[in-house]
Chain A
Amino acid sequence: MKIILEKRPFKSKKMALLSPLLAIGLTVFFGGIIFAMLGLNPFRALYVYFIEPVTSWWSIEELIVKAAPLILIGVGLAICFEAKVWNIGAEGQLTMGALAGSMIPIFFTGWQSPLVLVAMLVLGALGGALFGAIPAFLKTRFNANEILTSLMLVYVAQLLADWLVRGPWRDPGGFNFPKSVTFEGWQVLPTFGDGRVHIGAILAVVAALVLAFMMAKTLKGFEIRIMGNAPRAGMFSGFSPKKTIWFSMLLSGGLAGLAGICEIAGPSGHLQPSISPGYGFTAIIVAFLGRLNPIGVIFAGVMLAISYLGGEAAQIDLGVSARISQVFQGMLLFFILACDTLIIYRIRLMAGSDPKTTRKIMAEAGD
């Protein structure tokens, strides 16, 4: 007896849109089971986790603070994944963006001018883009798998950041704590409301709108869609696969870098060994949950921000580990991919085991 996946003749558009909602529903359901197994009242736990974070003004502000980097990175990744370029290393590009942007306040501590902020943001984006250029180069020049190279470079970036804040960039007046000097004045992002929401949130929404326009209306968006969909037809159309790889890696790297410097110049206010709670990885879930659509990514970013806040709330109110948010994020990605798989394929049970047929079906399914 064999279980095989068989491609469905037609994809259901309705199901493709319903899939993220279905995935969220399944995550909540199985999350409730996990809470129950931990001996908690699942309904109260789910309320604390998913609902409470949006019931008070300060927590909504916190939601925006967390959603901003997820959206900023997520829209870049959505474009990348649409072109079937698998940048898994946004976390590293975020880190390098944070480091590059921080050079200004660290090396020119006394410099105060609006230009400082602009220079920090530009350097941040540039740092992320250049770090994204490494997998792009390796892919276009040597056909190295970008999933591996971009992922491995995350650890390079994180170890570099760790060394810098413990070593050369450590605040001389910081009592040996592993952190840089504290940023001040024009070295931090302008904020709104109670002082946590910063202009990174505006940048995120602007980026999503611009990229939504690009994908829907411009030749560049057409190029990305065609290269991801039918590369041979893309070449026939006159586009270069290599240019598409470069464009999507630089774009997603640059946006991740921008998110990185916004984290440091926003909520943190200084460099420290760990720069983000895994925004670069969570943004992969955001991109898929948002159906690789920049507008969808805005909603998905908010959804995943709730999972971070809910994790903190669950730790405080319910006394469970904050790791619960990673469990929820993992379940969410699992269910999205599972739903998508079942929308494109159907499962068939097959008696007997003729390796030739199985291989043939696998080959057909694999395209």
Chain B
Amino acid sequence: MPKAPHKQSTNEAPLLEVQHITKMYGDLAANSDVSLAISKGEIHALLGENGAGKSTLVKVIYGSLQPTLGEIYWQGEKITITNPAAARELGIGMVFQHFSLFDALTVAENIALALPGKLDLATLSDKISTVSRDYGLPLEPTAHVADLSVGERQRIEIVRCLLQEPKLLIMDEPTAVLTPQEAEQLFLTLDRLASEGCAVLYISHRLEEIKRLCHNATILRHGKVVGHVDPQKETANSLANLMVGSDIHTIGSRTANVRGEVVLAINDLSAPPDGPFGVALKDVNLDVHSGEIVAVAGVAGNGQGEFFDAISGERAGNTPQAVKINGNDVGNLGIVARRKMGAAFVPEERLGHGAVPEFSLSDNVILTRYATGDAIVASGVIDNTVANDIQIRVSDDFDVRKGVPNPEARSLSGGNLQKFVVGRELDREPVLMVINQPTWGVDAGAAALIRQALIDLAGRGAAILLISQDLDEIFETADRIAVISRGQLSDARPSGDLTLEEIGLMMAGAHEKSDDKENSEAVSA
């Protein structure tokens, strides 16, 4: 659908202008010298990979974070937005990716809770009906939230914002949780809002959507603006290029290992979503051979968690053949049985999943190794000295820096704890390693050490499945790459054959083969 060019009167100051925003977390610049301007009636895309600094920028605009440096102008006047309430008073509304709604209350009650002042529920219900009808967001004020679909819940959040008559609406990845049909309905609403003069700041990494909807786009990478573009004039490829940043990658020329037998085989694996914001897995197939690193790339929240849990066996209940380790059917076995076959797992979340924050490191050794032949447990009784010896060995081998000999896990820095959690598994010399986001939130030194350890492990003949959002990391380490998007996994292809453009497109859903996609094309046609 061709987009009518957005008309901006030249003499009017932009509605919102942020200039040279920098936000530091310690030494890390989440935003560095970011500037952008949005005028009335404009739908402005904020585009970037996870971790590019989109959320930080939005939080600064919405007042939940204060910038370290930089200025914000609202209708030409310099202002400070001290908190979200102040932002709402100015006329900034935000629809979050994860909703804050009470299931047991009705639509009207939920909206009443969020609005300032005392309200009469009957009047409010009428207002909700009017607004939702006007903007094509059908909502029944008396319906209970628990009975509503995710799309309908999002409508509540949007109507909640609209009732405050915002001048600027911020949408954080709104279509991540929507079906294509619901997304199309949302686009019509946003078009309508824009035509009435409301500005929209639209955060997404879905390129087609941005081409369909937005007048202008600001692209962030590593906290910096890498381009202000007109999405109509760009192709999905060129946008992907900007977002992923082909210029900074040097594709690794790691010598390929001898590829051996299949160690991990995943056959037609399907799994339900693990919660209201989860993603179902659909017919996933993948083989990982000994001596190779296979990476699963993808933007967070596309089923990586469910994929990891299904392979680790934390959420068992698949058909036995869905997951095979060394030819054994393990799809219906738990995580301990899979560990005993030589598999090792490192989940994405270190604290509370991969390690217990309040437990000492030696207790955290017991966590994954009580059943794997380390003689930690004899007839149900734990030998703490064995666990402590392993803890010391892992800490030495992987350079885990700690203040006391056996500290609580939570007292370690992110990088040190991750080194420990990865080292705890590598110390077993596993034949299969499944690792989810190994260097997420980890300092560069620790990240390099972990990546090198994985490459070395593959060199010794282990099979490694690496789930990651970090394309640098993937190209540095992987022999083959598959991409996960909305619970579907592409075929794994040798990393040398893939360009970043192709991966960027696949991350945005180009390989999805379900009917949903065809429908969405039919709707937008």
| A interface list, Cβ under 8 A from B | 217-220, 222, 225-226, 229-230, 232-233, 235-238, 354-357, 359
Contact = CB atoms under 8 A, between A and B. Distances in A.
Contacts, number: 66
B367 A226 contact: yes
Q: Which 4 A-B pairs have the closest CB atoms?
A: A238-B336, A230-B356, A354-B85, A237-B367
B370 A222 contact: yes
Interface residues of B, number: 33
A233 B356 contact: yes
A363 to B, nearest CB: 9
Interface in B327-346: 334-336, 339, 345
Nearest to A238: B336
Contact of B345 (A225, A236, A356): A236
A230 B364 CA distance: 12
B352 to A, nearest CB: 5
Contacts of B382: 217-219, 222
Contacts of A217: 381-382
Interface string B85-118: 1000000000000001000000000000110000
Contact of B100 (A218, A235, A359): A359
Contact of B353 (A220, A233, A238): A233
A236 B352 CA distance: 10
Contacts of A359: 100
Interface string B364-375: 001110110000
Contact of B356 (A220, A229, A238, A357): A229
Contacts of A230: 352-353, 356-358
Contacts of B339: 238
A220 B336 CA distance: 15
Contacts of B357: 230
B50 interface: no
Nearest to A213: B381
Given A232-B349, A236-B353, A238-B334, 18 more contacts: A222-B363, A226-B356, A229-B356, A229-B359, A230-B357, A233-B353, A233-B355, A233-B356, A233-B367, A236-B345, A236-B354, A237-B335, A237-B368, A237-B370, A238-B335, A354-B83, A357-B83, A359-B100
Given A222-B363, A226-B359, A235 B84 contact: no
A233 B367 CA distance: 8
B312 A236 contact: yes
Contacts of B366: 222
B314 interface: yes
A225 B359 CA distance: 9
Given A222-B366, A226-B359, A229-B358, A236 B334 contact: no
A211 to B, nearest CB: 14
22 contacts: A217-B382, A218-B381, A219-B380, A220-B380, A222-B363, A222-B366, A222-B382, A226-B359, A230-B352, A230-B356, A230-B358, A232-B349, A232-B352, A232-B353, A236-B314, A236-B354, A236-B367, A238-B335, A355-B113, A355-B114, A356-B85, A359-B100
